[in-house]
Amino acid sequence: MKAVYSSIAVAAIAALGLVPGQAPGLRLLFGVIVPYAAIALFLVGVACRVIGWARVPVPFRIPVTCGQEKSLPWIKAASLDNPSTLLGVTGRMALEILLFRSLFRNTSSELRTGPRLLYGEEKLLWLGAIAFHWSFLVIFLRHLRFFLEPVPRLVLALQSLDGFFQVGTPELYITDVVILAALLYLLGRRLGTPRIRYFSLFTDYFALFLLIGLALSGVVMRYFVRVDLLSIKQFAMGLITFSPVIPAGIGAAFFVHLILLSALLAYFPFSKLVHMGGVFLSPTRNLSNNNRMSRHVNPWNYPVKLHTYEEWEAEFHDKIVAAGLPLDKE
Amino acid sequence: MAEQTPRPEQLVQISYRPPKQDWRDPSVEFRKGVFCYSAAPKNLRYLGLPNPREWQPFDNDWKLPPNWKQILIDGLKERLGKYRSFRLFMDICVRCGACADKCHFYLGSGDPKNMPVLRAELIRSVYRRYFTLTGRIFRGLAGARDLTEDVVKEWFYYFHQCTECRRCAVFCPYGIDTAEITMMGRELLNLLGCNINWVLEPAANCYRTGNHLGVQPHGFKDSIDFAVDELEEITGVRVEAPINRKGAEILFIVPSADYFGTPHYYTLLGYLMLFHEIGLDYTFSAFASEGGNFGLFNSHEMIKRLNAKIYSEARRLGVKWILGGECGHMWRVLHQYMSTMNGPADFLAEPVSPVTGTRFENARSARMVHIAEFTADLIQHGRLKFDPARNDRLTVTYHDSCNIARGMGLFEEPRFILRNVCRRFHDMPENTIREQTFCCGSGSGLGTDENLEMRLRGGLPRANAVQYVKEKHGVNMLTCMCAIDKATLPGLLEYWVPGVDVAGVHELVGNALVMRGEKERTTDLRGEPLPQPEVVHA
């Protein structure tokens, strides 16, 4: 049901994108005010979240160690999975953020009769996740051609690389196919695995449907509905230079794409999607396992009530004497 | 109790199909065998903890303080402002479910709230309700849940079905560590006086006497003296085991089970032999007579209160540095918390092995060295003479204890030592060792008898991997370096894999160690006859 509700919610948002076509008076609202508000919410919201986390102290150095510690010189340490230096931590974080190292470890489990617990490689989740995220990044970068004039060579190169297979006209972008396949896989997995469906929230489906809607509306515009790219570029340049214009050539398909993007941006800081910023700050990953080499300071370390040696000796005085152990106070 | 425990073939009928009941329904059933009893009020009083009273989890009325809700919300707020880990882990989980089947309690029980993701959602849902805009407005739709007494009971149930082993955190793409969540959950429950006795009694004992078992100075001395006498019988060598001796070079700290429990005790014999053989200038302390720290299972403040005696005793005795015995969560505290909480240890010297001259660079600030690091260095320098054939009775595997695995990364030293002291060593399958090791199911203070069924369930993945090497290689001895493992794995293995025993690494060291002046050894440290040299037939 949560999946149904959230898909309805996303469909409703998409339908809003059809409004400006029907009520030209609202073009300003949907074409300028909503996008600006969404961008502002996104930037301010994400900044607030990240600053909010960063302001909270890290009282203890608690990396989760996933390899041999640095100890004796003749024992090879796992410098990335259990880093003891800043360089190692940087490497660990880079692997985590760029390649999803931890998710790559994922296993499946199965209980057979015997009992026999079996664990297998389970790379699909990793593949789905990395396919989605990297496609999203490439698509985002490709979109820079609408916002920059002249279009940077790097963006053009990325674009032609993405269209490498030159299938059809306009040529098919690999990332368009990959991102939709990955999102559908992630949705299918969420719905199709009983235990994952069990704990999935409305918001989990909502984020997925928003992204699917966004990708689909983009694909529709590129391959199925004729849109006026020149107008869109004019519109995008207007937005980014703070002199917004809504050329007549901007149609319903584009408004749907735009409203879904606005919804995603506005929703982002209030959702789990903030993991984009949070992943950098995770204390179990971004700290060296060098606790015994250099002291970590807790800014709010406070004195606690103790049972001191003197109190202990006083309490057990006779027994200490009887056991023939030395006393501090005779 | 025993007759109520299901047989293995019953216990293993585990369904992973989620129930009809929505997880946001907090109701739980406190069924015998799967929960721990409440802490006795005397222990709370001794430690000065809130709301001491007589109550049990299966009671209807938990006698919470009248303003319990405000206490919890204030407590949550305080912790969100003090621990970035907690704050972040409340916000960034995407519920991908990679952690779900990594938990031994989920694998052994099939209870969906034992999936780490849902265990965290138990608090997250309350966090969203009272601390986030979307949660306040959209409630259930945003995954928010009201805080009710039933939620408190649910927290108590599930935060005492997590051993803080951190296996899930290895697989989490954001490093969300359920141990952190569980520690916060328990701290919050602690504010209402909802604690378990198996944690608080040892903590209270430790605060008073210096160790979890409540062994007083004369008892400690007797225990060590007994070990010295027994060693003389086995080896013919009289070793010294000084206690509270000022001016020794090294203070040696062990978990109290080492001198009061079996099979831990044989490990203690191993240490004593080793130290005698290398002529180590060391001392025990009858005050700092516990390295373990049940504070870790209660609150950060309690960790600090119980841990403080280690540095203070090192200072009082005037030692140069500290050596620590085989223990799991003890080392999580010593490695990741001690120096921050009770340091700096600038009154000690940087640890140097008096035998080999090796500087333990990795301990140069906290100035406490793990016995496995110390012994591995001795062996590498050829300073010990072994007769590994004395362990030929044993086909050995090694269980990486959670805390030294995922809170430290001590993997190679114990294996290096074992390969030197025994001749038949086989690791368990790779998904069940090292950073992916499975908990014994009784860690974090859950090792009590009334909780036996849940422990057996949680221990299933570990035991099952042992069964694999037993069948494949004939393994009959599981070695490990954790006091809770040594206390609880024998029973676990007897239940799931009869015929496999449990020992500390330094027990096998003691068995194999050839001492100067020793008599001809006829038994190992357990009094079992040594295997006869194999006769070679032509």
Helix (H, G, I), strand (E, B) or coil at B535: coil
In sequence order, the 6+-apart residues with CB closer than 8 A to the CB of A330 are none
Query: Are residues B411 and A67, on separate chains, in Cβ contact within 8 Å?
Result: yes
Query: Are residues B87 and A294, on separate chains, in Cβ contact within 8 Å?
Result: no
The pLDDT, as a whole number, for residue B342 is 98
Query: Are residues A301 and B340, on separate chains, in Cβ contact within 8 Å?
Result: yes
Q: For residue range B406-443, what is the model confidence (pLDDT) as tens digits? A: 999 999 999 999 999 999 999 999 999 999 999 999 99
Q: For residue range B501-510, what is the model confidence (pLDDT) as tens digits? A: 999 999 999 9
Residue B326 gets the label, from left (phi > 0), alpha (psi -120 to 50) or beta, of: beta
Buried-state track B139-158, b at ≥16 Cβ within 10 A, e below 16:
ebbbbbbebeeebbbbbbbb
A178 occurs within a structural domain: yes
Closest CA in chain A for residue B416:
A75
Q: Which chain B residues have a beta carbon less than 8 Å from that of A197?
A: 18
Query: Are residues A308 and B312, on separate chains, in Cβ contact within 8 Å?
Result: yes
Cα separation, A191 vs B332, whole angstroms: 39
The pLDDT, as a whole number, for residue B1 is 45
Is the four-CA dihedral B483, B488, B491, B496 of positive or negative sign?
negative
Query: Are residues A292 and B335, on separate chains, in Cβ contact within 8 Å?
Result: yes
H-type alpha helices, chain A: 2-16, 19-22, 27-28, 34-55, 86-99, 101-104, 124-142, 144-147, 153-162, 174-192, 194-199, 202-219, 229-240, 252-267, 275-278, 309-315, 317-322
Cα separation, B86 vs B177, whole angstroms: 9
Cα separation, B480 vs B495, whole angstroms: 18
| SS3 annotation, A118-185 | EEEECCHHHHHHHHHHHHHHHHHHHCHHHHCCCCCHHHHHHHHHHCCCCCCCCCCCHHHHHHHHHHHH
HSE-CB at B177 with a 13 A cutoff on CA atoms is 24
Q: Which of A49, A53, A72 to mutate to test the interface with B (most CBs of B within 10 A)?
A: A72
CB atoms within 10 A of CB B479: 28
Question: A306 CB near a chain B CB, below 8 Å?
Answer: yes
Q: What is the pTM of this model?
A: 0.96
| Pair type for strands B396-399 and B282-283 | unpaired
In sequence order, the 6+-apart residues with CB closer than 8 A to the CB of A22 are none
**Structural domain boundaries enclosing A48:** 2-322
Q: Please say if the pLDDT value at position A330 is more than 80.
A: no
B16 → closest Cβ in A195, A203, A312: A195
Distance from CA of B142 to the nearest CA of A (A): 6
A328 occurs within a structural domain: no
Structure tokens at B444: 């974090």
Structure tokens at A307: 């049972």
| pLDDT range class, residue A326, cuts 50, 70, 90 | very high
Helix (H, G, I), strand (E, B) or coil at B78: helix
Distance from CA of A146 to the nearest CA of B (A): 31
Residue in the structure block whose two tokens are 């300071």: A297
HSE-CB at B95 with a 13 A cutoff on CA atoms is 29
A329 occurs within a structural domain: no
The pLDDT, as a whole number, for residue A25 is 84
Cα separation, B269 vs B157, whole angstroms: 39
A61 → closest Cβ in B95, B143, B336: B336
Domain count, chain A: 1
Q: Which chain A residues have a beta carbon less than 8 Å from that of B336?
A: 60-62, 291
Is the CB of residue B112 less than 8 Å from the CB of residue B97?
Answer: no
Q: Which of A64, A197, A329 to mutate to test the interface with B (most CBs of B within 10 A)?
A: A64
Cα separation, B105 vs B442, whole angstroms: 10
Is the CB of residue B437 less than 8 Å from the CB of residue B163?
Answer: no
Q: Please say if the pLDDT value at position A23 is more than 90.
A: no
Cis amide linkage into residue B344, ω under 30° from 0? yes
Cα separation, B477 vs A110, whole angstroms: 26
A272 → closest Cβ in B85, B94, B361: B94
Is the CB of residue B243 less than 8 Å from the CB of residue B285?
Answer: yes
A130 occurs within a structural domain: yes
Q: CA dist A286 to A51, A86, A89, B182, B425, Å? A: 17, 9, 6, 21, 35
The pLDDT, as a whole number, for residue B535 is 58
Q: Which chain B residues have a beta carbon less than 8 Å from that of A123?
A: none
A219 occurs within a structural domain: yes
Adjacent-strand bridge partners of A107: A121
Q: Please say if the pLDDT value at position A148 is more than 50.
A: yes
Q: Which of B338, B340, B470 to mutate to test the interface with A (most CBs of A within 10 A)?
A: B340
DSSP string, B371-395: HHHHHHHHHHTT---B-GGGGTT--
Helix (H, G, I), strand (E, B) or coil at A108: strand
Structure tokens at B309: 């005696």
Query: Are residues A53 and B380, on separate chains, in Cβ contact within 8 Å?
Result: no
| Pair type for strands B282-283 and B501-504 | unpaired
Domains and CATH numbers, chain B: 11-30+50-194 (1.10.1060), 204-512 (no CATH)
Q: Which chain A residues have a beta carbon less than 8 Å from that of B102?
A: 107
Adjacent-strand bridge partners of B283: B251
Query: Are residues B416 and A75, on separate chains, in Cβ contact within 8 Å?
Result: yes
Distance from CA of A51 to the nearest CA of B (A): 11
Structure tokens at B327: 């223990």
Q: Which chain B residues have a beta carbon less than 8 Å from that of A308?
A: 312
Helices A174-192 and A124-142: crossing angle in degrees, nearest 10, is: 140
Closest CA in chain A for residue B365:
A293
A100 → closest Cβ in B8, B23, B173: B173
The pLDDT, as a whole number, for residue A119 is 96
Is the CB of residue B181 less than 8 Å from the CB of residue B86?
Answer: yes
CB atoms within 10 A of CB A165: 11
| pLDDT digits (tens), chain B, 538 positions | 445 789 999 999 999 999 999 999 999 999 999 999 999 999 999 999 999 999 999 999 999 999 999 999 999 999 999 999 999 999 999 999 999 999 999 999 999 999 999 999 999 999 999 999 999 999 999 999 999 999 999 999 999 999 999 999 999 999 999 999 999 999 999 999 999 999 999 999 999 999 999 999 999 999 999 999 999 999 999 999 999 999 999 999 999 999 999 999 999 999 999 999 999 999 999 999 999 999 999 999 999 999 999 999 999 999 999 999 999 999 999 999 999 999 999 999 999 999 999 999 999 999 999 999 999 999 999 999 999 999 999 999 999 999 999 999 999 999 999 999 999 999 999 999 999 999 999 999 999 999 999 999 999 999 999 999 999 999 999 999 999 999 999 999 999 999 999 999 999 999 999 999 999 999 999 999 998 776 555 4
Q: Please say if the pLDDT value at position A124 is more than 80.
A: yes
Mean pLDDT of all residues in A84-100: 98
Q: Is A170 exposed, middle or buried (0-12, 13-18, 19+ CB in 10 A)?
A: exposed
Question: A58 CB near a chain B CB, below 8 Å?
Answer: yes
B95 → closest Cβ in A204, A274, A301: A204
Cα separation, A208 vs A210, whole angstroms: 5
Q: Is B41 exposed, middle or buried (0-12, 13-18, 19+ CB in 10 A)?
A: middle
A330 occurs within a structural domain: no
Cα separation, A274 vs A271, whole angstroms: 6
Question: A270 CB near a chain B CB, below 8 Å?
Answer: yes
Q: Which A residues in the span 65-104 are in contact with B, Cβ-Cβ below 8 Å?
A: 65-78, 81-82, 84, 96, 100, 102-103
Query: Are residues B115 and A298, on separate chains, in Cβ contact within 8 Å?
Result: no
Cα separation, A259 vs A250, whole angstroms: 13
Q: Is B186 exposed, middle or buried (0-12, 13-18, 19+ CB in 10 A)?
A: buried
Q: Which chain A residues have a beta carbon less than 8 Å from that of B309?
A: 306-307, 309
Question: A282 CB near a chain B CB, below 8 Å?
Answer: yes
Cα separation, A118 vs A115, whole angstroms: 10
Residue in the structure block whose two tokens are 């015997």: A114
Q: Which of B466, B531, B453, B468 is nearest to B493 (CA)?
A: B466
Q: Which A residues in the span 113-132 are in contact with B, Cβ-Cβ below 8 Å?
A: 115-117, 119, 125, 129
Tell me chain B's radius of gyration from C-alpha atoms.
24
A60 occurs within a structural domain: yes
**CATH number, domain containing residue A86:** 1.20.950.20
Closest CA in chain B for residue A328:
B316
Is the four-CA dihedral B171, B173, B178, B180 of positive or negative sign?
positive
B408 → closest Cβ in A69, A107, A196: A69
Distance from CA of A193 to the nearest CA of B (A): 10
